[in-house]
A = this chain, B = another copy of it.
């Protein structure tokens, strides 16, 4: 059993990617490099990180597996708070930071099922599945999507009530499919179809909807990610 602190180190290493250094990790975690050093020795001992003096830090297979489990829990809880308890996307993170450390395999399974196995969290990040698989994904705004393509809404960028009402009116919500029917060169107004309903949306609106394209080729390197 890992402590919450150990879990946080693994999670942070996962987000920083495989070329992390001591200082970088220290800044990320909000502790001093000396503390990171101590912990790295411990995690190396437990075979969760690869680490040699003055070298770069990376997760072992086992460490990565643990990290992904935590990310999975974090993102499932964020989705839960957002969808079921009407938290806004900027409120979910802090509480999910706590909830991600709850130990219960059954709870995670049930949560996943309860949310209907969501693919994306409210920030538009991919939720790893129960096997720890995490398809890579290229996020962009709906405004940038090509005409004729199908995409999935994964997040919003604006949290204001008027915007959110508009989103609802158009029939959109996270994990919904969207088809881009047209874009007018004149005023960049777009025509989209959601659940058979066609809407005309402004460029401003489209720029606040984050999507992943279902028709674009899927090959991209993983970035550094966010703090979760």
Contact = CB atoms under 8 A, between A and B. Distances in A.
Contacts of A101: 98
A69 to B, nearest CB: 16
A197 interface: no
Total copies of this chain within the assembly: 2
Contact of A98 (B84, B103, B106): B103
A111 interface: yes
Contacts of A198: none
Contact of A106 (B87, B103, B104, B107): B87
Interface residues of A, number: 19
A108 B86 CA distance: 13
A111 B99 contact: no
Contacts of A98: 101-104
Contacts of A86: 110
Interface string A106-117: 110011001000
A61 to B, nearest CB: 27
A110 B85 contact: yes
Nearest to A101: B98
A151 to B, nearest CB: 31
B99 A102 contact: yes
21 contacts: A81-B107, A84-B110, A84-B114, A85-B106, A85-B107, A85-B110, A85-B111, A85-B114, A86-B110, A87-B106, A87-B110, A91-B106, A94-B104, A95-B102, A95-B104, A95-B106, A95-B107, A98-B102, A98-B103, A99-B99, A99-B102
Give the 4 A-B CB pairs with smallest separation, nearest first: A85-B110, A95-B104, A98-B102, A95-B107
Interface of A: 81, 84-87, 91, 94-95, 98-99, 101-104, 106-107, 110-111, 114
